[in-house]
Structure 1
Amino acid sequence: DFTKAHGIPKESLGKPDLLREATCKLSTSDLERLANLLERFEYLLKNGELKKEEIDLAKALEYGEKFYRLKEQYDFQVSLLEQVGILKEGAILGIDGNTYPIPTLEQIALRLFERREILKTKHDQGFTKLLLVPFGMSLDSLQETLKQFLLKYKKDNPTFNLDTNEPLWVWEEYKGADIGDSPNLVYHPKSFTENGHGGKTKTQILKEQAEGRWTLPPTAGSATGGTASAGVAGGKELGTPGWTIHLLQPSNPDEQDADETPIGIASIPREGQGTPQGDLIPRPPLEANKFSNEYLSILQKAQEDKDSPYHGETGMTPEDWITAFMIHLSETGKPLDNWEKGGESMSYLTGAFFSFSISILVLGAGWSCGSRQADLDRFVPHGRGEDIGVRFSVVI
């Protein structure tokens, strides 16, 4: 109940002066949500029935709860994003100076409900873990957020083994890589090449999102993705500029049949140690020890083949990984991609790459228990290792 959660007396709803006083401390996004609720309530009183879209929304929220335990996941992540300072008054500040409100629970529920048929296979394969990523923020800011998050986590959990002098090691070229007139970081490439890679800079993506021209990375059921419309506030449009909404496989897939909330992010198995997921189109695990450009090739071929077990999936970016790491550690008490621990691997981040005039480098990330720190690293496209693999997600 929105009014109860925000301490708004019910008697104030019909009295403008009392309502103004009761809501003066609400954030902009909460005020928009309250206005939307009051508008819907007024329609119900006048017409004695809900609008058709209200009925659809109710069905969508029910669907989201049944198949994704959506509200619990959403509330937890919004709370964490607020605690670490990413989310301020319901929004983030993008590298372009624009403010981007976080997608609402209703938006996400509607998106899942409307795409339920094309997402059926991915749900069957275990893609039930929600991940809200503030893509529009600067990567430098997210790195600093991760550092402070780790230090705070260590303070609250003294037994957590962390190098407090350097909780996050970052290769120097990450600094400022997503900003400026000629950024070195390219997102959503089709190939790791200097020319013809098909990717775009973060600034280009944000501009196209704002204009309603941005084509999302391929989603389940579509080889080309969908268009992200510009609207976001109030939940009346499905576009969520500045943000990406992912579904991943959780760390507790065996408990999903028991109606458990998806917890954490599934690890990347070593070669020969993975377990297939799904009955409709069984999905062989993406195991470690392949070339990074081989993983990208698997992804690209899958977009043209609806029968591929990886159809509709996309590679992750450093923004995705940082957010996933914080969620995973908060929920499981274990660092994500602890590659020095047997059975887990580092992760290539094939959703982006460094394009320099003299070289092409693929991003990678993981946790080093030996160094007691998180790592944001880089690798050559034609290299591979038994302790590094890849994680794909479904962008909705």
Structure 2
Amino acid sequence: MRSGPRGGDAIDAAVSERDAVGFVAVSRGSDPTSRYLTGREFDCDLAFVRVDGETHLRVPSTVEPPSLSVASVRVDDRPPGKAAAAVLAEHGAPEGTVLAPRTIPHDAALHLESAGYDLASTAAVEAARAVKDAAERDAIEAAQRAATRGVGRAAAILAAATGEEATDGDGGDGDSGREDDGGDGDDDRPALRWDGAPLSTERLRRQVNATLAAEGVDAAGATAVRAGTRGDGNEPVELRPGEPIVVAVGPRGPTGYRGALARTFVVDPDGGWERRAHVACDAARKVSLVEADPGDDAGFLGSELRAETAAFGFSMADEVTRDVGGGIGIAAREVPPLDGDRELVAGNVLRVRAAVTHPDHGRVELTDVLVVGEDGPRLLGDAPTGLDPSRW
């Protein structure tokens, strides 16, 4: 069991280096930073104070104070900034510089300043979160295994789907009739059918989320199914043979850590664009296993992912995705981003994404999670990458 919170050593080092008297973080509602620092989720205002190597939490009386091995927890109904100032004064720091994340709420900052403290921002917690320890990596890998099973469920359904016309009066499974096709009305191909009813993006999404729930993870509102050129992945459309179908998930595990996985499937392909796009995305995916060693530049990795995708004849400006990923952990987007000049270090965990979009053909995407290890990078999970759902 840890003797202090995650990030505690980094906070103490920053406090010592800056000759500060302590560190304060204030969260409002569910917040990734407070979950990282405390190991649990709080749905309330919370004052986190680190002073003299010890951690103190102040929570309102509207919640039951938890028993935490990493912190002293007490009820305090004063505004979090005032509660934090009282903790600092109580533990021998009546004045001086206090470090805080740059996202500290304005009113909390004002309360600390009015109590006589000078605030200085620090990225110590952000930097600490960028390097995952073994338990964090295990949690992300568990979420990634669940993600693989969720996308695998989609693959199994698509492999079993047919392009046969519906019989009269056959609605099936609570889906009534043909859904809005998103505007591509000149395509008269029949919708894919599964289990006696038309198969839509929403129906497939629900099946994926049911599998994620059975795996013990939260879909976290991140599951999306996108069909060809129709719609933007939000409104339901019926799935058709021959179009690329992107299934993307970002489940959150019981401890808050997330996975990320996207695969593209085509049922009964009848064209070549999606195959070329898939080869490009798969080649970019493999680049991450070459350019993500400790000491490599995160921005260079991002540029190489884009360049490798574009090398297959796709426009860097119009077709290749700009979002090629970045850090992942308690939040879906963390440090390091895959741009700028940050150096990769062992313990970074990255969402790596390659995608191509064309207005006439649709979208192809492959997303995985990669760990930067001492011995080099490795992708988490063994999810197949092919377009054919029957080969999952």
TM class, shorter-chain normalised? Answer: under 0.3
More strand by share: 2
More helix by share: 1
Higher RCO (CA < 8 A, seq sep 6+) = 1
TM-score w.r.t. the length of structure 1 is 0.21
TM-score w.r.t. the length of structure 2 is 0.21
